[in-house]
Amino acid sequence: MSAGAGGVRGWACPSCGAPLPLAAGQPQALCLYCGATVVREAGGSAPPQVTVELAPDVLARLRQLLLDERPLEAIRLYQQRAGIDEAQAAQVLAGVIRDLTSRAWRQQPLSQSGFAIVMAVDTACLAAILWGALTGQMWAVGLGLAVTVGFGLALAGALVARIKQLTGRPAPAVVRRLARLGDITLRGQAEPVPVTRLGLEVRPAGGAPFAAECNAILRPSTLARVRPGTVLEVKLTAAGDVIPSMPLNVLSEAQEGVGDGNP
């Protein structure tokens, strides 16, 4: 169990072991990995207990309703299947949206400036470690190691995504559908930034088109240019990942009457 930002504690799902964030004061949550609804005792430190597990098809339907920005239908479906009241269902699904938004932010590739900052910090930490080792100042060694490890753990997902983006093969992708998951406030930004789920038709050179979905953090000015029919540049990795280029590269904007969301 670990504490996170915004008073969120990371519990492990008792059914599958996946991370299960529970906000302070939130008595129950839904695991998007296995469909388990878990409840914890108010004010207690005991691990949460499973009360009901959604069937895979119901979980997939619920996830799709959230991605399609149809929260009322999602609330009704979850309320019926979990046997809870509407207010409880709304609270649980609000937590799911927060989790999806937070996960999308953590997995976004670092920008060029962010990558440069990380390299500068790592270089400074290495210098502190070497200086401390040579002069016997073990506090400098400890501090350098702590900062290096902390940065690595906090930005591991973003660093991996950045490396995949740099080494990926560019390809055009047509936006077939998009859903706004929520908003996050980035450090140094006054206004919240939308987190969007993109449904894409990727068209690799020399290969057959295929469908893919990915999350993207888009500034409002960029989001205004993206709609069904817009063609974006993405990067394809050897592992089959699809990552939008950063900054987002709009190859062509949707024409009126084009891109109705159907493949």
Q: What pLDDT is recorded for position 91?
A: 83
28-58 per-position pLDDT tens digit: 888 877 888 888 776 656 666 778 888 888 8
Average pLDDT, integer, range 88-104: 75
Confidence at 154, pLDDT banded by 50, 70, 90: low
Task: Please check whether residue 190 is in contact with residue 143, taking contact to mean a CB–CB distance below 8 angstroms.
Answer: no
185-204 per-position pLDDT tens digit: 655 556 777 778 788 999 99
Q: What pLDDT is recorded for position 157?
A: 63
Give the range among 23-27, 95-99, 157-161 with minimum mean pLDDT. Answer: 157-161
State the chain's mean pLDDT as an integer.
Answer: 76
Q: What pLDDT is recorded for position 178?
A: 79
Domains in the chain, please, with CATH? Answer: 2-106 (no CATH), 112-154 (no CATH), 169-252 (2.40.50)
Tell the residue number behind the tokens 């129950």, with chain if given. 28
Q: What pLDDT is recorded for position 3?
A: 39
Q: What pLDDT is recorded for position 256?
A: 57
Q: Is the confidence at residue 259, as pLDDT, over 50?
A: no
Q: Is the confidence at residue 233, as pLDDT, over 60?
A: yes
Tell me the whole-structure pTM to 2 decimals. 0.50
Confidence at 132, pLDDT banded by 50, 70, 90: confident
61-83 per-position pLDDT tens digit: 887 787 676 888 888 999 898 88
Task: Please check whether residue 92 is in contact with residue 20, taking contact to mean a CB–CB distance below 8 angstroms.
Answer: no
Average pLDDT, integer, range 99-111: 60
